[in-house]
Structure 1
Amino acid sequence: MPQLKQPPSLESIVLQSLQRFILTLGQKLLGKVCSGTPATVLPTRWGMPSFLVRENCSKSSELEELRYFLHPGLPLNLSNSVTSAVLEAIATVISRAKCTYDGFSKSGDDCCRDIIENMISVALHAQVARVDLLQWPWFIGEILLKHLGNFQHLEVLKLWPGSWSPVWTTVVEMLENGHCLLNNLVSFSMRCHCTDKILQVLAHSTRLQYLDVMFSVDVTDTCVSSLLQLNNLKVVNMCSTSLSAQGYTELLIGLPHLSKLVWFDLNCHALGNMKMSPLSLHSYEASRVSIDHLIILVHICPYLTQVSLHWVEADLSVLGALKHLQEVKLAQCSAVNSNLKGLLEIIGYNIISLELHELRDVDLLMIGALCVNLKKMSLVCDLQSVEESFLGIKTPLFKELKDLKFGSEYSECLFFNCTNIRKLEISRCQNFNDNVVATLLTKNPLKQLQVLSIAHSGQLSMKTVHLLLESCDNLRVLEGLDSWGGVSKLQVMELCMEMKRKNMDIEILWKKPLHISW
């Protein structure tokens, strides 16, 4: 059975109490003005005319008092924790509002909208160090954008366009004109909407180490001179921008500490033009890879620890010369024709992460025997049938594997051997059912498993849930039950209530949360 919850810290208790207070206050304020009927309206937008709403409907003495209560005298790290806790409570208030069906995106009463906006404004303070739009619902993110110019010590700024709104036009103008204080930035992400002018302003952010402007077509070679002033840059994502091979080459040469530059080098056009070597680059991504491409790569980038290659038409054993290589990601090719075995025979002992997407003829036995130190593996590919071959293997395989993402036909030889797995994500495994789980837990009880996600696989029922709870002593998260087929939402709710009564430290989630890595 899962372990019992441990007593929370004093700080956690205080923050939870604050969240309950904000939730109660928000529902009380909305209850005074909310129509209770969802209606689609043209939402109020920053920089656009507001609706004619009841005068002063959003003003509240409680909110004015709260403004002076939350932050004065608090240390910066605690003040940021208070802000996050309050915003989480406001997100709950939004989800329970009766006048909107989409979190005030395109529906909701104007008075309720104004109250929520004022509550968010009260929660913010000038010393906010981190703004991440992915962390919050759309409406909270839009209010954060309105206050972007007020934050004086931003270190992390992640601007993710969940949906288009006129706010983005204003934000772009603010950033281009230098109206936001970005000198302390360590990490900046702005996908889709970044421009050369914004990067020109960022040239003064000398502490910047991480930059992500993926999908921003207005980022061109013009930005190269600005980025070359950022000598502390370590990771840059320029994928799907208008950067050319020449611009890519200039960045590689001019940024001495750059370890990762995400930009798919098609047919080795960029590296092929390099006149100097070796580079200090640690990560490289390319598509339509030929043997000449790999030879150039090994010569110019001998310190690579990570490679990501798509549409490989070459002998991968050439990469065996990369003695520091630890992470390999391959997609859209044949494991046999590209000689994956040849590569792993040379440096398989050094590989700790292996991701194979849409590969053909993948030999699990070969991977397990050669990659003895493998800790993370992702398999969304066609596997060779080697179940009988595994029966003759006496040495346990995959014993170091901690993280597995599996999207192929179920393989006993793999799952029976992963005795130390901590995180397991299964999808598109149509022959994964209750009987398979029962047999698996008999052979491998998954005692170290902490996070399990099963989605869009075979027919699973509450029998599997109870088997997992009985066997997996360290299980903390079980998610994706909405796609199991044999489980109802009511059953999951009842089980969650039972786990809460027993004080079990486990989350059982009906839907698999959306995780976006950027």
Structure 2
Amino acid sequence: MLCPEVFNFKAPESHFSSQKRNPNERNHLNTVNSLIYNHLVSVILPDASKVPESLTQALSNDCDYYKLKNVKISDFVARDFIVNFINSGNLYVLSVNTRIDCDNCVAITPEGQLILSLSKSEYQSLGLEGQVSHFHHRTQERYNDAETPALVSLSSPIVTKLQYYHDPQKIVSVLYSCLDCLNELLASSVPYYLYEKMAREVLNAVKGLIEKTKKTYYPHTNMSAFLTEMNVVVSLTEVVLNPLLKQIDFTEWPKIMRYVLYKNLSKMTGLEVLNLGSSTGGWRTSDYDKYIVEGISGMKHLRSLCLCFDCTDQVIQVVGDNCPFIQCLDVTSSRSVTDRSIPSLLKCNHLRELQLHRTSVTPVGLAQILRGLDKLQDIGRCDDFRGVIKMLHQSGACGPFGLRKIHTRGLYPEILRLLVDMFPKVEYINLFHDEQVTDLTILTSLDCLKELKLLSCAFYGDYVKQLLEVRGCNIISLHLEHVEEVDLNVLIDISQFCPRLKSLVLYNCDFMDSSEINTSRLKVQPFQNLEKLFWMVDCARTHLEFILLHAVNIRNIHLGSSTGITHSSIVNILTVNPMKHLEELRILYSSDMSMKTVELLLANCTNLRVLSELESWQGISMEELKNFKQHIYSNNFDLDIRPTLSYY
């Protein structure tokens, strides 16, 4: 282009803005201070022949800006640096004379977060975990990292340090000093939103280290050295126990770690969810009682507490006095919980779930709780709920009460009618049928009913069919256990009356021989929304196939040991319904299912992640199973075939 037509080139778009401010205002300082990484300010003085003395002095004075050379990144993660500059001061750090799109850059924010922008080679050499940089698309060489260094095993250095001392008290003092330092380091180095994840990883690492240390013991091992090392390893549990921890489940950790957890309960004042499980299983000791009481008394933010077997009236008193936000309390099987705890429970105004099964709380006490806690939605299993209803009725407290879940037994018609009137918001009912109740249509008055579990009744004789016909449109979970008069037409009724059904459990039901199917009643496709099927029924293969042929959204299937399912059944089902959403399949026994069945399932059920109890499939030999396990391992398949023999 020898003579470009310059006049045809449009001027680039530009944006200009200006603000008029009073020079006496100091708002501009807030703007400057908010731009933390600015290290250059240009001052323009229009129509000024002389620079004001005040400005000259302000620009020439010393400030808190320093330029350091040859600083190592490792210096920024040293404990002394974090304690003295991050925790105790106000610090900004930024690389100068570097280009963020092609050089290695480092920054520290006022919140204490270390940010690295690295080249690919530097990123790989440091062994960090990060993400692709915004500038990666240019050179394919940029990575960002804002993580803290991984926690490494520190038991060996601590053990080595302790070997220099012979005084037991000195050893204990040095050990706890080391643990406190580690605790402070983790608390100061890990962002609060990652602390839960980090704590779990640390506890899992300690758990693994304990098992590894146990295996180092041999008959000729120095017992003193072994016990010292074991004590240090177990004590590492403490390094994550502080107010930053929000939830912990003691049942996940071995007993050798639990004592350390109990002993340090008082440090975990920030807990919101605490699951102590069964604690000592009823073998209470004064030490454990002391740890629990002292620990809970400082947990002002606790929302959920589980303490089975070992809870006492004293513990509940501490909860009532110190945990104003408690919403869930499970003290199942704690015989030491009595009616004396009722005043303390009534202080828990936000309580929504209270599990008191097999405690010493009487129906009179439960009636007081229902009257006093208007937010309570679940009281767990209560076999004497009939007595509770009687006490409420006799006291003139007819509700309505806010319970959403009821699990009981032995309700005769009059009590059942009172239940419906007093608890109209019930969404879940688990009812062991009483012979005196011959008409379950009383439950049709429960407009909110979504989950129904019935034990020991007759489908037609006790009017379960009529109940489902009226309320089935809202039912999403149905559990029938020891129910009589069940045949294929019952399954059709369930599919038509409960179109939103997601979970179906049939356990030891008395199936009758199938009569002719009335297909005219199939106004909607059966079981289209079913996701979970638990089937523990003897020799009802036709009924099972009917369900699985139509359950196109099934995700979880658990079949018992006497269902009669065979390879041909699987072929028939998958030919019509490949079960593309199936994730978990457990079949406790089959007389002829083999590796061909496994291959067929894997070819059709592309989301399958659990295929369990293959050991009980008679068509699979132990050698075939061993080869299949090796095949999964060598090809890194996401498939779990470990046997569980778990029950519903």
Partner of 2:334: 216
Distance (Å, rounded) in 1 between the aligned partners of 2:414 and 2:474: 24
Aligned mate of 2:257, from 140, 155, 172 = 140
Q: Which moved more, 1:127-136 or 1:138-147?
A: 138-147
2:504 paired residue number? 377
- Contact 1:462 1:486 (C-alpha < 8 Å) held by counterparts: yes
Task: Answer yes or no: is 1:79 the counterpart of 2:195.
Answer: yes
Query: What pairs up with 1:223-262 in 2 under 5 angstroms?
Result: 223-262=341-380
Relative to 1, partners in 2 of residues 1:229 and 1:61: Cα closer, same or farther, differing over 3 Å? closer
1:431 matched to which residue of 2?
Answer: 564
Native 8 Å contact 2:612 2:643 kept in 1: yes
Residue 254 of structure 1 and its aligned partner are, at CA, apart by 0.5
Counterparts of 1:332-411 in structure 2 under 5 Å? 332-362=456-486, 363-385=490-512, 387=514, 389-390=516-517, 392=519, 394=522, 395-409=524-538, 410=541, 411=544
| Letter in structure 2 aligned against 1:464 | T
Judge conservation of contact 2:247–2:273 (CA < 8 Å) in 1.
yes
Partners of 1:317 and 1:502 in 2: how far apart? 55
| 1:427-466 to 2 correspondences below 5 Å | 427-455=560-588, 460-466=593-599
Query: Which residue is equivalent to 1:4?
Result: none
Structure 2 residue identity aligned to 1:221:
D
Query: Per the alignment, do residues 352 and 94 of structure 1 end up closer, same or farther by CA in structure 2, a change over 3 Å counting?
Result: same
* Aligned-pair CA distance for 1:228: 0.6
- Once the two structures are superposed, residues 73-132 of structure 1 have per-residue CA deviations (whole angstroms, 9 ceiling, x without a partner) of 32223111111012223333445542689xxxxxxx634532430332234344211121
Paired letter, 1:218: S
Moved more, 399-408 or 435-444: 435-444
Write the deviation string for residues 370-406 of structure 1: whole angstroms up to 9, x where unpaired. 1111111221132434656458365421111112222
Question: TM-score, normalised on structure 1?
Answer: 0.80
Q: Does the Cα contact within 8 Å between 1:375 and 1:400 map onto a contact in 2?
A: yes
Q: In 1, Cα distance between the equivalents of 2:262 and 2:590? A: 40
Tell me the CA shift for residue 348 of structure 1: 1.0
C-alpha contact (below 8 Å) 1:218/1:242 kept by paired residues: yes
Distance in structure 2 (CA, Å) of the matches to 1:140 and 1:265 = 36
- Of structures 1 and 2, the one with the larger relative CO (CA 8 A, separation 6+) is 1
Aligned to 1:37: none
Distance 1:61 1:148 in 2: 19
Query: How far has the Cα of 1:195 moved from its partner?
Result: 0.6
Alpha-carbon distance between aligned partners in 2 of 1:266 and 1:191, rounded to the nearest angstrom? 20
Moved over 6 A (4+): 13-17, 28-32, 58-65, 513-516
Q: 1:224 to 1:62 in 2, by over 3 A?
A: closer
TM-score w.r.t. the length of structure 2 is: 0.65
Task: Describe the shift of the 1:404–1:136 C-alpha distance in structure 2 as closer, same or farther (beyond 3 A).
Answer: farther
Deviations 1:281-320 (A, max 9, x none): 2111211121112111111111111111113331111100
2:547 paired with 1:414: yes
CA distance in 2, matches of 1:515, 1:14: 44
Instruction: Find the counterpart in structure 2 of residue 330 from structure 1.
Output: 454
Q: Distance in 2 between matches of 1:81 and 1:445?
A: 38
- 1:7-406 correspondence runs (5 A): 18=150, 22=153, 70-96=186-212, 97-98=214-215, 110-111=227-228, 113-161=230-278, 164=281, 169-176=286-293, 180-203=297-320, 204-266=322-384, 268-274=386-392, 275-276=396-397, 277-313=399-435, 314=437, 315-362=439-486, 363-385=490-512, 387=514, 389-390=516-517, 392=519, 394=522, 395-406=524-535
CA 1:357–1:182 in structure 2 vs 1: closer, same or farther (change >3 Å)?
A: farther
* Counterpart Cα distance in 2 of 1:488 and 1:281: 52
SS at match of 1:116: helix
| Equivalent-residue separation in structure 2 for 1:188 and 1:388 (angstroms) | 52
What's the CA shift string for 1:17-74, capped at 9, x where partnerless?
A: 958x55xx77x89999xxxxxxxxxxxxxxxxxxx9xx89x97999898656544232
| Range 85-94 or range 182-191, more displaced | 85-94
Contact residue 432 and residue 455 of structure 2 kept, 8 A: yes
2:159–2:232 Cα contact (<8 Å) kept: no
Match in the other structure for 1:42? none
Q: Deviations over 1:177-212 (max 9, x none)?
A: 566522211101101110111000000311111111
Provide Cα deviations, 1:105-160, integer angstroms capped at 9, x if missing partner: xxxx6345324303322343442111212222333333322221211201011111
Deviation at 1:253, TM superposition (A): 0.7
Residue 423 and residue 292 in structure 1: after superposition, are their counterparts in 2 closer, same or farther (change >3 A)? same
> Mean Cα displacement is larger for which, 246-255 or 113-122?
113-122
- The CA distance in 1 between the partners of 2:217 and 2:598, in whole Å, is 34
Letter in 1 for 2:247: R
Unaligned runs of 5+ in 1: 1-8, 33-51, 102-108
CA contact (8 A) 2:158 2:178 kept: no
Q: Deviations over 1:306-350 (max 9, x none)?
A: 111113331111100111111111123333332211211111111
User: What amino acid sits opposite 2:258 in the alignment?
Assistant: G
Instruction: Give the Å deviation of 1:234.
Output: 0.8
What is the rounded CA distance, in whole Å, between the counterparts of 2:460 and 2:288 in structure 1? Answer: 50
Identity within the alignment, %: 27
Deviating more after overlay: 398-407 vs 388-397 = 388-397
CA spacing shift, 1:95–1:489, aligned 2, 3 Å: farther
Larger radius of gyration: 2
Q: What residue ranges of structure 2 are gaps of 5+ in the alignment?
A: 1-128, 132-144, 161-167, 219-225
- The separation in 1 between residues aligned to 2:238 and 2:594, in whole angstroms, is 45
Amino acid at match of 1:354: L
Letter in 2 for 1:419: V
Question: In the TM superposition, what is the alpha-carbon distance from 1:261 to its structure 2 partner?
Answer: 1.4
Superposed CA RMSD in Å reads 3.7
